[in-house]
Amino acid sequence: MKSINLAEKLETFSEHYKPRTVGQFNGHDLMVVKVKGPFNWHKHDDTDDFFLVLKGELTILLRDGSVTLKPGEMYVVPKGVEHCPVAEEEAHILLIEPQGTPNTGNVATAAAKVVI
């Protein structure tokens, strides 16, 4: 039995928008991701989208506004709601999604699942 140190996990890779799975919880993947620049507009029809900022700053654009998250701040994008994450500088994020959820909302363009 060992704790999962999120900062240590984040030190093991450098790519942006390529989540790493660091644990499982009730059928969900617990993932860390480094982000920089804009992602793409997408939605998940069947799952809410959980974001907790660990380092840096993340803005989540929504069709009717936006929300900016600093370290220790979280936001849940409800299922079916279009959103586009954007980070001016590199930011580190904890994501939680049901196992198998494509990060882009589309299996054809999604990042592969990588467990570390």
Tell the burial category of 12 from Cβ atoms under 10 Å away from its Cβ (0-12, 13-18, 19+). exposed
Which helix H or strand E contains 69, and what residues bound it? Answer: strand 65-69
Give the nearer residue to a second copy in terms of CB position, either 42 or 49.
49
Give the helix/strand (H/E) hosting 8.
helix 6-10
**To the nearest whole angstrom, how small is the minimum distance from the Cβ of residue 103 to a second copy?**
16
Smallest separation (angstroms) from a second copy to the CB of 63: 11
SS3 40: coil
Q: Smallest distance from the beta carbon of 95 to a second copy, in angstroms?
A: 11
Give residues in contact with a second copy (CB under 8 A).
1-7, 23-26, 28, 30, 47-48, 50, 52, 54, 62, 65-70, 72-76, 94, 96, 98
